Amino acid sequence: MAEVEGAETPIGPTEPQSRHIVYCGVCSLPPEYCEFGGTVKKCQDWLQSIHPDLYNRIWSADALEAATSSLSVEARKRAEKDAHKKALKAEAAEAKQAATIASSKVIIKRVERNKRKFVTAVSGLEAFGLDNKKVAKDFGKKFATGSSVTKIPSGGEEIVVQGDVSDEIEEFLLENYKVIPEDNIELVESKVKKGSGSG
Amino acid sequence: MFKKDISPGSKSKVKSSVQRSLRTQLTTTYPLLAPHIDEIVPKKEQLDAMKIPDRVTLYLIGSTPLFYQHMTDLLLPHLRLVHRFPTCFPSIRIDRGAIRFVLSGATLMAPGLTSAGGRLPTGNSEETRKYGETAVEGEGFYGGRELEPGEPVVVCAEGKVEACAVGLLSMGTKEVKEKGKGPVVEDAHYLGDGLWKLALGD
């Protein structure tokens, strides 16, 4: 009998399809684990707006009741405290990041290379979470010039673009990298250049 | 293993001969995966290997992570793959109270498995049902065969559908039931760790 059954059921499902899973857009975990992520409130809002059906399944009163009833009161309290702490931490980290973004500046510098030839140096992009290498590649593509990441003596890196493209870079940055507020871009005309310009 | 955030390293293409041997390795380590192997690692697809810290290699196709491997240890599935094929890996279940510890990278301890909310293989090696198949009590099925130390295992959680961690057993499931204490899965890959958050977008 068992053999017959074994013969009837194929070894594996014939149309094996991987499951498609929704991941939380805020904390990247599967939504049912959002409660452990530290950004619970935001995750809830996100889920409610994007996948209301999932939201109702996971965050309904019944589900929450069933989830917590298996724990002892003490354990629940501890878990709550822990979650609270985590949330505070996540909030603090976020605030800190916002502060660094507000205070940091992207500096676009025009540097004289050889009398009337210039290069443009861009620094301070890291603070906005941009990858210097990738942005350099984009500049090179956009302006069809050499564009490279170089280390500067004071530590850190800057992007050096051939030619005087400072104004264009400002526009390009504003258009393509929306994370940078306009006020945080600073154009610097290198002092050396002014001296040479008059002379 | 991946408590710290990882920055993506450089990808390199995997030789087709190596790719072939990986496929056989996968099917021997995870026999249940055999029917799906062509979907996971299509023969024609170019597999990429990414080196990440601690001598771990991550195998991916395009931007989909598949497996990671520490040196030449067993291949372990990335959690995203586990979520796609949840029934193909030997799994155990932890109780609700243990989830938050596992998700912050703690070693999985035996009490989380032996308590009312935890599930271990039944120990009846005759059972041939599939993982995750609903058993009589309306609970997921957690395997018949006892797992040995050193075997890869997927950690599910009470009240949750998706798995929350992947790791190697440091204690056999039989021993877990007998002793009821001590570490069971050390150095796991869990939801929200560095490997999970690793940005693979091109």
Predicted confidence (pLDDT) per residue in B103-149, tens digit: 888 898 888 888 887 878 766 655 555 554 544 444 456 666 788 88
- pLDDT attached to residue B138: 40
Q: Minimal CA–CA distance to A79: which of B190, B95, B196?
A: B95
Find the largest Cα–Cα distance for chain B: 48
Question: For residue range A122-159, what is the model confidence (pLDDT) as tens digits?
Answer: 888 887 878 888 888 888 888 898 888 888 888 788 88
CB B179 within 8 A of CB B103: no
Domain, as residue range, for B24: 11-84
Give the residues of chain B that fall short of pLDDT 50.
132, 134-139
d(CA B10, CA B53): 12
Statement to judge: residues A153 and A180 lie in one domain: yes
Number of domains in chain A: 2
Q: Is residue B28 part of a domain?
A: yes
CB A124 within 8 A of CB A106: yes
Pick the last residue of a domain from A77, A102, A127.
A102
Q: What is the DSSP string of chain A?
A: -HHHHHHHS-SS-SS--PPP----TTT-S-GGGGGGTS-HHHHHHHHHHH-HHHHHHHHSHHHHHHHHHTS-HHHHHHHHHHHHHHHHHHHHHHHHHHHHHHH--EEEEEEEEETTEEEEEEE--GGGT--HHHHHHHHHHHHTS-EEEEE-TTSSEEEEEESS-HHHHHHHHHHH-TTS-GGGEEEEE-HHHHHHHH-
Q: Is residue B182 part of a domain?
A: yes
State the pLDDT confidence band at A67, using cuts at 50, 70 and 90.
low
Compute φ and ψ for B52, nearest 5 degrees: -125, 160
What are the distances in angstroms from CA A190 to CA A143, A156, A171, B180? 21, 19, 19, 70
- pLDDT attached to residue B11: 84
Domain, as residue range, for A88: 31-102
Q: Is residue B197 part of a domain?
A: no
Q: Is residue A137 part of a domain?
A: yes
Q: Is residue A133 part of a domain?
A: yes
Minimal C-alpha gap between A89 and chain B (Å): 14
Between CA A45 and CA A47, with CA A46 as vertex, the angle to 5 degrees is 95
Q: Is residue A130 part of a domain?
A: yes
Higher confidence at residue B76 or residue A73? B76
CATH number of domain containing B52: 3.10.400.20
| Contact state of B116 with A18 under an 8 Å Cβ cutoff | no
Q: Is residue B1 part of a domain?
A: no
Statement to judge: residues B150 and B95 lie in one domain: yes
- pLDDT attached to residue A3: 38
State the pLDDT confidence band at A195, using cuts at 50, 70 and 90.
very low
Residues 13-72 of chain A whose Cβ lies under 8 A from any Cβ of chain B:
13, 16-21, 27-30, 32-33, 36-37, 66-67, 70-71
Q: Is residue A4 part of a domain?
A: no
Residue A134, burial from CB neighbour count under 10 angstroms (0-12, 13-18, 19+): exposed
Q: Is residue B47 part of a domain?
A: yes
Minimal C-alpha gap between A11 and chain B (Å): 8
State the pLDDT confidence band at A12, using cuts at 50, 70 and 90.
very low
Statement to judge: residues A89 and A108 lie in one domain: no
Q: Is residue A20 part of a domain?
A: no
Q: Is residue B4 part of a domain?
A: no
**Which of B35, B97, B196 lies nearest to residue A75, judging by beta carbons?**
B97
- pLDDT attached to residue B202: 52
Q: What is the DSSP string of A46-102?
A: HHHHH-HHHHHHHHSHHHHHHHHHTS-HHHHHHHHHHHHHHHHHHHHHHHHHHHHHH
Give the three-state DSSP class for B186: strand
Statement to judge: residues A69 and A126 lie in one domain: no
- pLDDT attached to residue B201: 60
Number of domains in chain B: 2
CB distance from A131 to chain B under 8 Å?
A: no
- pLDDT attached to residue B127: 54
Statement to judge: residues A120 and A96 lie in one domain: no
CA B172 and chain centroid, separation:
16
Q: Tell me what the pLDDT averaged over chain A comes to.
A: 76
Find the length of chain B. Answer: 202
- pLDDT attached to residue A5: 37
| Contact state of A83 with B100 under an 8 Å Cβ cutoff | yes
Statement to judge: residues B96 and B167 lie in one domain: yes
Mean pLDDT for A189-194 is 57
Pick the last residue of a domain from B84, B110, B137.
B84
Mean pLDDT for A74-101 is 79
Statement to judge: residues A124 and A154 lie in one domain: yes
**Which of A16, A20, A27 lies nearest to residue B35, judging by beta carbons?**
A16
